[in-house]
């Protein structure tokens, strides 16, 4: 039976069950089209001790591209992944493969200067070529397609933004053209900036193809294997096996081996996605982006992005995303997660002839303070430990750049992008944003003093979670569908911020650096190094036991 999304009285039946079955759960309850479209590739758990040249933690686009390119250089590689291939944020992207950076070249040129902005443009353009080359070389059936992208004005914005971007891109030798009207969106009558040479694919099919190629190159992949300890000698898995390696690469969206250095220089954001049915051939295949604010914690002008995906003989999926907010801080302007979906559905229905919504999911974006990913040697660590993080909303190209750059660093080959992406860099012109983000983190500690979401666990229905006061601190509580209560300390194991309940993904999310935990306390996003501590509480949140 058709279901309704609660919220703003929008008729938006979800014609499909969007909750992931437990075998396919990724970093939340919702199911992306990509994960639903492919059976998990059959890899096993780590079941022995190994010694390799390079061990890579994380089987998303950064980790697998690195493993693949190193395996082509003859390196003996092993990949460990705590879920399945692409089951982290790479399976929750919308896979815009683009050199039209979300942060805009006009801004990047202003803060980094012309030379570095040119390098950013070159590296993202080259990443698109490398993906295309890998698809052809390895014969990966992943719906890869070259197409155009259109940047158009958000209602809050004006043409100067597009003029500035036209000017900046042309100075950096990125092909762009200003056109009147937005192809595919008749109601958007203003000008737009067209970027040729963009691309899309199905990210899980691409990653499965990369994984198969790694195995053909005699690399090893272990899934459902959490690395519980990572140091400069290799990793130790939760089930007690080790992989010793000369080089260690941590490609886990947010680096789980870094406690401070990187987490003060990037901020986690949630982004929302819906996929609806649209009659085949209605629209040209393209990418569309508006000029809204990607970090709408600071403004209320949220950004939107759209693409198409082949679906069946009659329909395509129109995949629209946006409405971003800082992770664990959904309450700006009183908006909850479900309101974000409803706003996105409303925005999409106003612009596109979508017949019904088939999927909805959310993902995590790491926003570096200066718009460039952090790829290279892990700060304050041994020289043989590398990280890749800070996708900045361009995860497909940043992940591919990570593979190219880390491969060169390990092989000992000069790469001109090294300084641009160096995780130890400081960008003086973004000091104000750095301070603003870190003041926002400091503000989160007020949550130790505020009341909980509910006064008593009795207020929770089946399948609901909340944060409840527990003496001087707080507890994260969840009632399962049978009414059984699960209680954990709501203090994040990373740097002790108080978690927030995310009712759409059924996760406890940290508002400081983006760690996330399932409703059963299991960590699904770093930097938290381990699961939540289980506690006993009474009905009103005090220490003790609650009798169900
Ligand atoms: Fe840093 Fe929670 S992720 S305190």
- Who contacts 122 (Cβ-Cβ below 8 Å, separation ≥6)? none
Q: Which residue stretches of 302-353 are H helix?
A: 337-351
User: Of residues 260 and 276, which shows the higher confidence score?
Assistant: 276
Cα-to-centroid distance, 68 and ligand 1 (Å): 32
CA distance 444 to 116: 34
Q: Which residue stretches of 76-156 are H helix?
A: 105-112, 114-137
Cα-to-centroid distance, 522 and ligand 1 (Å): 15
- The closest alpha carbon to 199, from 402, 397, 496, belongs to 397
pLDDT for 294 equals: 59
Residue 296 has pLDDT above 70, yes or no: no
Q: What is the Rg, in whole angstroms, of the alpha carbon atoms belonging to the chain? A: 22
pLDDT for 6 equals: 30
Which ligand 1 atom is at minimum distance from the Cα of 514? Answer: 3
**CA-nearest residue, atom 3 of ligand 1:** 513
pLDDT for 332 equals: 63
361: enclosing H helix or E strand = strand 356-368
pLDDT for 7 equals: 32
Cα-to-centroid distance, 451 and ligand 1 (Å): 20
CA distance 105 to 128: 17
**Which DSSP string do the residues of 468-524 spell out, in sequence order?**
EEETTEEEEEEE-TT--EEEEE-B-TTT-PBPEEETTTTEEE-TTT--EEETTS-EE
Q: What is the pLDDT of residues 347-379, one digit of tens each?
A: 999 999 999 999 999 999 998 988 899 999 999
Confirm or reject CATH 2.60.120.590 for domain 449-525, answering yes or no.
no
Phi-psi region of 145 (alpha: psi -120 to 50; beta: other; left: phi over 0): beta
Given the structure tokens 């009183």, which residue do they identify? 334
Cα-to-centroid distance, 385 and ligand 1 (Å): 22
- Do 130 and 270 form a contact (C-beta atoms < 8 A)? no
Cα-to-centroid distance, 155 and ligand 1 (Å): 35
Q: Pocket of ligand 1, candidates 267, 513, 523, 530: which has the most ligand atoms within 8 Å of its Cβ, to mutate?
A: 513
Q: What is the pLDDT of residues 138-163, one digit of tens each?
A: 999 999 999 999 999 998 888 999 99
CA distance 384 to 234: 10
- Do 493 and 513 form a contact (C-beta atoms < 8 A)? no
Residue 10 has pLDDT above 80, yes or no: no
Which ligand 1 atom is at minimum distance from the Cα of 510? Answer: 2
Confidence of residue 545 (pLDDT cuts 50, 70, 90): low
Cα-to-centroid distance, 369 and ligand 1 (Å): 17
**Residue ranges around ligand 1 (CB below 6 Å):** 492, 494-497, 510, 512-515, 527-528
Residue 38, Cβ neighbours under 10 Å: how many? Answer: 19
Tell me the pLDDT of the chain averaged across its residues: 88
CA distance 410 to 403: 11
pLDDT for 168 equals: 96
Q: Pocket of ligand 1, candidates 328, 442, 495: which has the most ligand atoms within 8 Å of its Cβ, to mutate?
A: 495
Residue 13 has pLDDT above 60, yes or no: no
Lowest-confidence region among 160-164, 206-210, 358-362, 479-483: 479-483
The CA distances from residue 147 to 23, 55, 393, in Å, are 34, 35, 19
Phi-psi region of 177 (alpha: psi -120 to 50; beta: other; left: phi over 0): beta
79: enclosing H helix or E strand = strand 77-80
Given the structure tokens 């190209």, which residue do they identify? 397
Q: How far apart are the first and last CA of the chain?
A: 32
Q: What percentage of the chain reaches a pLDDT higher than 90?
A: 67
- The SS3 call for residue 435 is helix
**CA-nearest residue, atom 4 of ligand 1:** 495
Confidence of residue 22 (pLDDT cuts 50, 70, 90): low
Highest mean pLDDT among 184-193, 210-219, 325-334, 455-464: 210-219
Residue 2 has pLDDT above 80, yes or no: no
- Do 237 and 227 form a contact (C-beta atoms < 8 A)? yes
Residue 4 has pLDDT above 80, yes or no: no
Which ligand 1 atom is at minimum distance from the Cα of 254? Answer: 3
**Which DSSP string do the residues of 173-239 spell out, in sequence order?**
T---EEEES-TT-TT--SEEEEEEEEEE--HHHHHHHHHHHHHHTT-EEE-S--EEEEETTEEEETT
Cα-to-centroid distance, 438 and ligand 1 (Å): 12
């Amino acid at each position: 039976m058709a279901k309704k999304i609660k919220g703003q009285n929008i008729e938006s039946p979800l014609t499909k069950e969007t909750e992931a079955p437990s075998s396919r759960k990724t970093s939340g309850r919702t199911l992306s089209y990509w994960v639903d479209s492919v059976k998990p590739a059959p890899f096993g758990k780590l079941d022995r001790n190994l010694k390799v040249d390079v061990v890579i933690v994380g089987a998303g686009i950064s980790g697998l591209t690195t493993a693949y390119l190193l395996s082509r250089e003859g390196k003996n590689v092993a990949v460990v992944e705590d879920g399945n291939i692409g089951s982290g944020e790479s399976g929750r992207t919308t896979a815009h493969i683009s050199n039209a950076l979300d942060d805009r070249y006009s801004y990047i040129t202003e803060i980094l200067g012309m030379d570095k902005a040119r390098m950013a443009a070159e590296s993202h353009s080259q990443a698109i070529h490398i993906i295309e080359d890998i698809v052809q070389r390895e014969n990966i059936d992943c719906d890869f397609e070259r197409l155009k992208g259109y940047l158009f004005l958000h209602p809050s914005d004006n043409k100067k933004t597009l003029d500035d971007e036209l000017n900046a891109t042309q100075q950096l030798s990125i092909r762009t053209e200003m056109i009147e009207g937005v192809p595919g969106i008749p109601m958007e009558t203003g000008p737009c900036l067209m970027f040729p040479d963009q691309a899309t694919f199905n990210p899980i099919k691409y990653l499965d193809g990369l994984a198969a190629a790694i195995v053909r190159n005699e690399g090893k992949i272990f899934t459902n294997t959490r690395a519980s300890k990572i140091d400069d000698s290799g990793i130790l898995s939760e089930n007690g096996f080790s992989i010793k390696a000369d080089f260690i690469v941590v490609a886990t969206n947010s680096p789980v081996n870094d406690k401070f250095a990187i987490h003060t220089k990037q901020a986690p954001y949630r982004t929302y996605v819906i996929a609806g049915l649209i009659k085949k051939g209605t629209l040209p295949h393209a990418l569309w982006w508006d000029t809204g604010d990607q970090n709408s914690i600071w403004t209320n002008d949220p950004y939107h992005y759209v693409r198409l995906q082949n679906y069946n003989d009659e329909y395509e999926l129109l995949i629209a995303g946006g409405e971003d907010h800082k992770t664990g801080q959904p309450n700006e302007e009183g908006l909850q997660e479900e309101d974000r979906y409803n706003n996105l559905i409303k925005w999409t229905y106003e612009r596109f002839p979508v017949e019904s919504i088939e999927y909805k999911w959310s993902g995590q974006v790491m926003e570096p303070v200066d718009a460039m990913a952090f790829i290279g040697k892990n700060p304050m660590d041994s020289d043989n430990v590398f990280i890749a993080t800070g996708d900045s909303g361009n995860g497909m190209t940043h992940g591919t750049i990570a593979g190219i750059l880390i491969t060169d660093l390990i092989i000992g080959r000069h790469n001109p992008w090294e300084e641009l992406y160096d995780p130890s860099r400081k960008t003086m012109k973004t000091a104000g944003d750095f301070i603003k983000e870190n003041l926002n983190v400091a503000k989160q500690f007020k949550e130790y003093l505020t009341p909980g979401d509910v006064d008593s666990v009795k207020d929770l229905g089946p399948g609901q979670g909340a944060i409840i006061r527990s003496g001087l601190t707080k507890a994260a509580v969840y009632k399962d569908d049978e009414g059984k209560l699960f209680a954990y300390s709501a203090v994040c194991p990373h740097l002790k911020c108080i978690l927030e309940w995310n009712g759409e993904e059924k996760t406890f999310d940290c508002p400081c650096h983006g760690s996330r935990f399932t409703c059963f306390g299991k960590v699904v996003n770093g930097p938290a190094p381990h699961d939540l501590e289980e506690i006993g509480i009474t009905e009103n949140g005090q220490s003790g036991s609650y009798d169900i």
